[in-house]
Amino acid sequence: MKHRPSLLACATQLPPHYYSQEELLQGLEQLWCSQHFNGQRLRQLHQAMKIEGRHLSLPRLEYLQPSDFSQRNQAFARVSLELGQAAVEKLLAKSRLSAEQIDFLVYTSVTGLTVPSLDARLMNRLPFKTSLKRLPLFGLGCLGGAAGVSRLSDLLQGQPGSRGILLSVELCSLTLQPQDVSVANLVASGLFGDGAAAVLMGPPLEGRPQVVDTRSVFFANSEEVMGWDIGANGFSIVLSPQVPHYAQHHLGPALLQFLADHGLVPADIAAWVAHPGGPKVVDVLQEALDLPAEALAITRRSLTEVGNLSSASVLFILEQFLDQSYSPGSYGLLMAMGPAFCAEMVLLQW
């Protein structure tokens, strides 16, 4: 029988600078008042997100000051290390483990660049053993949380008894492009927030879900749906209005097929750990799978409270599911979409 790693614990960390959506909107209106020909359109886009507020890496007024890619990336290096360390320390304390007991460290982000990568920098902050196996992942976008769980599961299947941590740190606010008044950038400025999450995986533990199977799905010729254009000004968002279409007409059927391959239908899933791409994406996913409203309630609440945290979002949602109790044998499905366009699915069982 195939070894099934378990999701043992999850911990999250938000930066201290929290602002309501209205406060953030007012700052952006000030920033773009001389450039954007239709300020009312900006307000409509932000209100459509149904987000109450978001956490930022820096104080709000600092985003109104001129800065270049180098300065923003330096801020990413500093803040990501602080948040990442806090998330991992919280996870270890919750799990009653020491850093020396961890065998793998997988790190994912798509909002900043550091070499050495954040996982290596953490080696000098926390007492991991020098033989720790590290795997930094970049470029997966919102997919990174689900894909990180899948890849760590792959690693642990070959090392029964080992433990690993997946760390996601996303500082989306540092990618703000003040000179870009495209609809994609205006939408991104109202949708994405900052945060970090860490997940512990290891040998099966009563009351914790095991990974039954994982699946990666790639949708050909969809590179322009989601991603970054990276240039002298840093990360410029690529965000097509076709994302909800892909969620409904491509992701939906792929999810149904994945479940069917295990003799399951959506009604068999007790825990839907779904990444909150945005209100429209959640709506069409619910429609494509014919789910009751309460199935994606935690996803919607996470989006409302902190916004879309890219790869970290699905792990924030996972933490809430791990705090609940499920009957033995109950199924869960963890999933996210990302650039390429692609999706990652993880079938869980308690």
d(CA 128, CA 120): 10
Exactly one of 10, 33, 142, 172 is catalytic; name it. 142
Is cis: bond before 339, omega within 30 of 0? no
Establish whether 33 is a catalytic residue.
Answer: no
For 325: left if phi > 0, alpha if psi spans -120 to 50, otherwise beta; the answer is beta
Other C-beta atoms closer than 10 Å to the C-beta of 37 total: 7
Q: How far apart are CA 33 and CA 26, in angstroms?
A: 10
Contacts of residue 140, Cβ cutoff 8 Å, sequence gap at least 6? 108, 110, 147, 148, 311, 338, 339
Backbone angles phi and psi of 105, in degrees to 5: -135, 110
DSSP type of residue 308:
B
Which pairing describes strands 331-338 and 269-274: parallel, antiparallel, or unpaired?
parallel
Amino acid type, 52: E
Q: How many CB atoms lie within 10 A of CB 241?
A: 11
Taking the C-alpha atoms of residue 315 and residue 13, their distance in angstroms, rounded to an integer, is 11
Number of other residues whose CB lies within 10 A of the CB of residue 100: 10
Query: Which residues are marked as active site?
Result: 142
